[in-house]
Structure 1
């Protein structure tokens, strides 16, 4: 499906109509970079005016879909968002020091704290990191469950560092007789309040 810039604009809270022209320029730029498809079509059956429409490419389609049981359609958006977090960019200038002396890892150098400590104090980074871990967990566990049958005789699974409970959720969905225990740091579990609905 391809949309006009004005149709895209109708889905977001734009207050100034002039913003539609700016949005159209941005969409056109993304299409030049092959992040969007772009094509021309007649504005209507009785007009000779051409308008530009935009749609998702095979790459950007994976940034919006999120069917957690299908690793082929799991959204990579959390990975992209996490990669541009300010707190991570600030530490890029420290990579040279880490190479010269491995003891100077960026997180330890700046705050004498590792990624988990920093994310426990930064709710935005914490949420972003947890979503990235959930992203990888979906891909991995779907592959595991497709081939490994060792859970058939298991009664209980403890996932240490289980994050948001994605792995346990998928195991229990495939093997409802299993009782799951998700164990992680308090600030991680706080983001996983929905696991109560999964009987974990």
Structure 2
């Protein structure tokens, strides 16, 4: 007699097993993605100018012929997940498989205008991604980040102590900024009538430079950690300031917080917002704060968008940050001393929030 779980049908149990196994081996998705970036495969296909056959790819990669089948299995899996397209080349005997780029793998072509390969390399560094093996230990610890459980100190201290990873992190953030810049091109209304803006945590100025080019009369200031901006040069309407946003934010008509607040606890976010309010209300002015971040909306978002946002929420455990829904955002704004806000869509999973004193 077949066993059952609480009277479940065998088909239900098998479906549940599939779900379990999918998540057990989900790490392979990330590792395959890391492999294709490390092997520079998107660039190889791009430079080839047309779909590349398996035999040609193996030749370019200079891997042993005995590993040809393994290259094929990795490419087949990546194609199944939307990173490549498999085509057949009628001009080649037996119609050998050939691989073409998709929109997703086009985003991994190094040297292109928009490239997220640095994000892959940074996020999947084993020193940090390995921290998620310690979720159980972290959940019992008081007031300590997941990274601190594994590394012995917090993420920002880790960056200060590891120049190579700090450089990798800045490159990753700059690559992501180019995606946001693509969205901001249609959001000129946000920056109109402003004379000055401070980009908090603006890194090497990728976003600020786009804003400056679009609005040449707008004065932009990038505030970031001293070691990030110390060797960067000012231009006519762009300047870099090293400092701590918890201590001081330069006065301006607006403050931009792009993917900043999700890094911090509610208490820290309120401190940051209060400093922002001081900066945009100086000299009797009434400016605004521009927040670019996620707004979780499980009722309205598509399932895959919600899944992305919830994955990022778990990811923010690494620094004791969080992703928030509108109710949680509103609470922060009110406690930070702001009276009103407006949420607008920006990218597939990011929103643009304007908040007013």
User: Shared fold by TM > 0.5?
Assistant: yes
Pair 1:32-2:77 in alignment: yes
Correspondence list, 1:144-163, <5 A: 144-163=184-203
How far apart in 2 are the matches of 1:9 and 1:127? 32
Correspondence list, 1:65-104, <5 A: 74-104=114-144
How far apart in 2 are the matches of 1:27 and 1:197? 49
Question: Structure 1 residue 9: deviation in Å?
Answer: 5.9
How far apart in 1 are the matches of 2:237 and 2:109? 28
Aligned to 1:122: 162
Pair 1:133-2:173 in alignment: yes
Question: C-alpha offsets along residues 70-124 of structure 1, whole Å, 9 cap, x if unaligned?
Answer: xxxx433233222211221332222212222352322223444221211122233
Question: Structure 1 residue 5: deviation in Å?
Answer: 4.1
Question: C-alpha offsets along residues 38-92 of structure 1, whole Å, 9 cap, x if unaligned?
Answer: 2332455xxx454332112343232227765xxxxx4332332222112213322
Match of 1:107 among 139, 147, 154: 147
Question: C-alpha offsets along residues 1-47 of structure 1, whole Å, 9 cap, x if unaligned?
Answer: 301345446766x4xxx636636741442223423222332455xxx
TM-score (norm: length of structure 2): 0.44
Look up the SS of the partner of 1:75 in the other structure: coil
Look up the SS of the partner of 1:64 in the other structure: coil
Match of 1:56 among 101, 105, 111: 101
Question: Structure 1 residue 125: deviation in Å?
Answer: 2.0
Q: CA RMSD in A?
A: 3.3
Alignment size in residue pairs: 186
Indicate if the aligned counterparts of 1:141 and 1:170 stay in contact, CA closer than 8 A: yes
| Larger RCO, structures 1/2 (Cα 8 Å, 6+ apart) | 1
Question: Structure 1 residue 175: deviation in Å?
Answer: 0.5
How far apart in 1 are the matches of 2:86 and 2:144? 46
TM-score (norm: length of structure 1): 0.72
Pair 1:2-2:42 in alignment: no
CA shift in 2, pair 1:61/1:178, >3 Å: same
CA shift in 2, pair 1:54/1:152, >3 Å: same
Question: C-alpha offsets along residues 128-169 of structure 1, whole Å, 9 cap, x if unaligned?
Answer: 321332233333344344234243333333223211211211
